[in-house]
Structure 1
Amino acid sequence: MPANANRQFLDFEKPIKDLIDEIEKLRHAQENKKINYADKIAELENLIVERRREVTQNLSSWQKVQLSRHPDRPYTLKYIEKMTTNFVELYGDRNVRDDKAMVGGFALLEGQTVMFIGQQKGINTKTRQLRNFGMANPEGYRKALRLMKLAEKFNKPIVTLIDTPGAYPGLEAEERGQGEAIARNIYEMIRLKVPVICVIIGEGASGGALGIGVGDRVYMMENTWYTVISPESCSSILWRSWDKKEVAAEQLKLTAEHMKSFGLVDDIIPEPAGGAHWDYDEAAQILKQHLVKVLAELKDVPVEERINSRIEKFGKMGFWEEGGNNEQTKEEQMNEEVKVQTGE
């Protein structure tokens, strides 16, 4: 995780920043004045952990969105680095190019070979541009599908780590078939013969998330969000301004708790106190233990049963209501429509 000097803070993390600044002052005084402040520093460090826990206890939906985008938050490659060994990254969709916003490859997870696939954001300005801010082009989703089919060929389970503000919406992406690429992935993922686990580790927006988000189990990290549109975009559509993004975030019901209550995700994976950005090792270990446990459960399920369960799981999602008077005949309904159209 970043050193204290390079650490960035959100507005609601200010109480933590104040304590860290106080510790830095004590350490500086300890070096210059040769006074032992070890006990006071230890006390403040314990208080920081408590403040981290308090800060995330009653966050609004918008604050959780902010936390999911925290610049110090671990991304896909960091989780793979901390959870696995012998990671071999694979490149290209064998058609257009290698999309740097989508990464994937085989790795060993507790001695078991697993295909890891996920969106990758950059850690500074240069790499953010290289990774296109985690927004994949069609070739990124086709690359992901190629790797999934490769895993299926060798009978290896798949883990997808989702963290994207959405699929890239540029003209060239649409020209190369962005919608088709995402739809193809959804269609193929629901029929994969190997176990598939999907985890939202940051942002889970729109088709960009769904393109690698169909699996036997779908989980969300504690401080993440998952919905059809970002709060800013929703606000700009409804109110012609980003100023209502906090309202939009509340109305979208996008937090992990909301998604679990709707039955759209299976469970919530906890994070270290204050969020995953405070302790990469702990965050990765929590996720690793969860993955190992679920992979062991899915391994013993027969292939056909697993596929049918996956189809049923996604087929029954959502709420709907049929309108109209069910007692009316089709002929009566048509007559009413004609009267409306003719003005009678």
Structure 2
Amino acid sequence: MPVILDFEKPIQELELKISELRNFSREKGIDLANEISILENRVREVREAIYGNLTPWQKVLIARHSERPNTYDYINYLFTDFIELHGDRLFGDDPAVVGGICRFRGRAVTVVGHLKGKDTKENLARNFGMAHPEGYRKAMRLMKQAEKFRRPVICFIDTPGAYCGMGAEERGQSEAIARSIMTMATLKTPIVSVVIGEGGSGGAIAFGVGDRILMLEHTIYSVISPEGYASILWKDASRAREAAEAIKITAQDLFELGVADQVVPEPLGGAHRDPEAAAANLGEALAKALEELLEIEPEKLVAARYGKFRTIGSLMRESI
């Protein structure tokens, strides 16, 4: 059974009625095609109404949905000849970060990304997509390799944040994140960063220094989670819904603020409802971004990337 969010229950109720009518029609031999068609149109209308007016908190829930396509899914849909590479050559391999070389529409590229699981067992194995320092150092190793062989880099962002356990801190978590940001800022090859789910805290920003930042329609990206914001500001994590409204974390908000370069449409109901269609939309956006970036000389590319991030967050103040 698919996971149903609270605000999706009106859709679920209608779909159950349709299923019951189909079963009744089949068992009794009665033609109920007209009644079923009316309900199907009603489902479409309700779904469009709900997903056309989502609140920021509802978008948070969709971004965190356990059935959303993860990095492996997009690799399987969009790339060919994927060879996964492991280890940071310093400590070990981090299963919360996946990376390797592959082909995108015939072109050799390097892919790195956070990796969440689809169930509790997988999430425990992948540490819920929360990377250790060795995960970021593995990613940096692959990025430098991509620069050497002039391969574009595609980063998939989907994490609640970097792992903040004692071992991670002892092995230099903050240094690894900072160095990842620095590495991406100066990398002389095109970088496209894509938020495919939850982009949380420094763990997400470590993969977010791209020439193009794409966000799927129902994703979020922020320096802190709504729960963390509410806990710090109001000392009450239960006000996360209110915090989501305040901190402008949706793809649409970030596009308006100039943080995201493009919002990639998702199928009606979210990427988890039709992963193949979601991947097709993303593939077109990636192809267009790479086509533009590959025309730019490496030195100019780095300069433009630097300028892009220097201007994010700038404020126009009235002279006093």
TM-score normalised according to structure 2 size: 0.94
State how 1:324-335 maps to structure 2 within 5 Å. Answer: none
Matched-pair contact (CA < 8 Å) for 1:216–1:310: yes
Partner-residue secondary structure (3-state), 2:195: strand
Partner-residue secondary structure (3-state), 1:268: strand
**What is residue 165 of structure 1 aligned with on the other side?**
160
Could you tell me how far apart the structure 2 residues matched to 1:313 and 1:95 are? Answer: 32
**What is residue 193 of structure 1 aligned with on the other side?**
188
CA deviation after TM superposition for structure 1 residue 18, in Å: 1.1
CA deviation after TM superposition for structure 1 residue 25, in Å: 1.3
Could you tell me how far apart the structure 1 residues matched to 2:26 and 2:9 are? Answer: 26
Could you tell me how far apart the structure 2 residues matched to 1:265 and 1:321 are? Answer: 19
Could you tell me how far apart the structure 1 residues matched to 2:314 and 2:200 are? Answer: 20
1:104-150 Cα shifts (integer Å, max 9, x gaps): 11222111122111111110110010011110000010011111112
Residue among 54, 74, 80 paired with 2:69: 74
**What is residue 7 of structure 2 aligned with on the other side?**
12
CA deviation after TM superposition for structure 1 residue 236, in Å: 1.5
Change (3 A) 1:84 1:46: farther
CA deviation after TM superposition for structure 1 residue 36, in Å: 4.0
Change (3 A) 1:43 1:72: farther
Cα RMSD between the aligned structures?
1.8
Could you tell me how far apart the structure 1 residues matched to 2:81 and 2:53 are? Answer: 39
CA deviation after TM superposition for structure 1 residue 37, in Å: 3.8
Could you tell me how far apart the structure 2 residues matched to 1:15 and 1:78 are? Answer: 29
Partner-residue secondary structure (3-state), 1:97: coil
Change (3 A) 1:111 1:46: farther
TM-score normalised according to structure 1 size: 0.88
Could you tell me how far apart the structure 2 residues matched to 1:321 and 1:35 are? Answer: 68
Matched-pair contact (CA < 8 Å) for 1:49–1:273: no
Percent identity of equivalent pairs: 49
Q: Which runs of 5+ in 2 are unaligned?
A: none
Q: Which runs of 5+ in 1 are unaligned?
A: 1-5, 327-344
CA deviation after TM superposition for structure 1 residue 306, in Å: 0.5
Change (3 A) 1:193 1:137: same
**What is residue 263 of structure 1 aligned with on the other side?**
258
Residue among 203, 208, 224 paired with 2:219: 224
Q: What letter matches 1:174 in structure 2?
A: E
**What is residue 333 of structure 1 aligned with on the other side?**
none
1:156-195 Cα shifts (integer Å, max 9, x gaps): 1111010110000111111100000000011110111111
Could you tell me how far apart the structure 2 residues matched to 1:81 and 1:227 are? Answer: 27
The structure with more radius of gyration: 1
**What is residue 332 of structure 1 aligned with on the other side?**
none
